[in-house]
């Protein structure tokens, strides 16, 4: 069997160290620096010839810098004769631009897929693309995981009164319905109209939330305007308690401050992106390090990943 090496670029060192400790494999030393004009230089400081490489990089702000760093590191590995390059990307950029909604627009999710493949990646391991169909943009294997089972496990061990799962828009109904099914609770849908990028308005609520614990499930919180508007309308409709769950907490601009001021009593985020903010009891982080460690081990050993996703001994639909 090929030797496993774990390499981390600079975007999420905390997660990389956690995975390294769980796997009991040291991180392969990597030199990354910038020239005076901002160009990125990468050098692998250990032999990788023929090895099974797992390269960790989460591509968030500054998006283009992190993305170029990832592509250049892949190129360095390929030119060093690495056996297989598995990209572990908890949050992958440009997944919101998966189709043309107006004339003369790009489909940037496809472009990003082409760049990653052309650079030399052999596999992509990621969490919660904004749209499931993006997997079809890749000509390499994509192990695409979803965040809702992690939240479901959290709530299964809690005793909230009259919980309901809330989808903040029509696009999120599928995942919200699956989480509601796992927990055997009702589903509520917020009918939302998006007027422009990063701006939406809640229009209607389908379902009953009065006196209930409303658990909002979303994949991305960017500027937090949409999710805070959803929390506000749920409060106005009589929800007793509001909890927000999101896989990727981008929290651009003043998104963090908006979350702290919104009616939600708790915000659960996965650590696909580091939360470089002041710690608060209102925001709780659930780490994916144990899951990624198991995924890496199983991919390396060519074992099925389905066994990792069960609920009461039944497969979880991804």
Catalytic residues: 192
Q: H/E/C letters for each residue in the chain?
A: CCCEEEEECCCCHHHHHHHHHHHCCCECCEEEEECCCCCEEEEECCCCECCEEEEECCCCCCHHHHHHHHHHHHHHHHHCCECEEEEEECCCCCCCCCCCCCCCCCCHHHHHHHHHHHHCCCEEEEECCCCHHHHHHCCCCEEEECCHHHHHHHHHCCCCCCEEEEECCHHHHHHHHHHHHHHCCCEEEEEEEEEECCEEEEEEEECCCCCCEEEEEEEEECCCHHHHHHHHHHHHCCCCEEEEEEEEECCCCCHHHHHHHCCCCEEEEECCCCCCCCCCCCEEEECCHHHHHHHHHHHHCCCCCHHHCEECCEECCC
Q: How far apart are CA 115 and CA 15, in angstroms?
A: 25
Cα–Cα nearest to 144, from 95, 74, 78? 95
């Amino acid at each position: 069997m090929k030797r496993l090496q774990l390499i981390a670029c600079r975007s999420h060192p905390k997660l990389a160290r956690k995975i390294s400790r769980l796997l009991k494999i040291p991180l392969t030393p990597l030199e990354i620096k910038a020239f005076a004009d901002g160009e990125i230089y990468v050098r692998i400081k250990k032999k990788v010839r023929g090895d099974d490489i797992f390269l960790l990089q989460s591509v968030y702000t500054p998006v283009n810098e992190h993305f170029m760093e990832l592509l250049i590191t892949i190129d360095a590995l390929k030119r060093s004769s690495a056996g297989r390059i598995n990209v572990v990307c908890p949050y992958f950029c440009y997944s919101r631009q998966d189709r043309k909604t107006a004339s003369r627009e790009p489909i940037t999710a496809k472009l990003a897929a082409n760049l990653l493949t052309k650079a030399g990646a052999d596999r992509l391991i990621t969490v919660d693309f904004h749209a499931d169909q993006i997997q079809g943009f890749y000509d390499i294997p994509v192990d695409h995981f979803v965040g809702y089972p992690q939240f479901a496990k959290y709530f299964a061990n809690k005793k909230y009164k009259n919980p309901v799962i809330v989808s903040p828009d029509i696009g999120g109904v599928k995942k919200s319905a699956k989480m509601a099914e796992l927990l055997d609770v009702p589903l509520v849908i917020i009918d939302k109209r998006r007027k422009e990028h990063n701006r939406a308005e809640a229009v209607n609520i389908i379902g009953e939330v009065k006196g209930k614990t409303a658990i909002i499930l979303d994949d991305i919180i960017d500027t937090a305007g949409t999710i805070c508007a959803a929390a506000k309308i749920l409060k106005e409709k009589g929800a007793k308690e509001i909890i927000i769950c999101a896989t990727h907490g981008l929290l651009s601009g003043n998104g963090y401050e908006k979350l702290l001021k919104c009616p939600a009593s708790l915000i659960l985020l996965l650590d696909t992106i580091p939360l470089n903010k002041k710690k608060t009891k209102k925001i709780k982080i659930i780490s994916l390090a144990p899951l990624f460690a198991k995924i890496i081990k199983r991919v390396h050993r060519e074992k099925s990943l389905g066994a990792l996703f069960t609920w009461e001994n039944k497969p979880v639909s991804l």
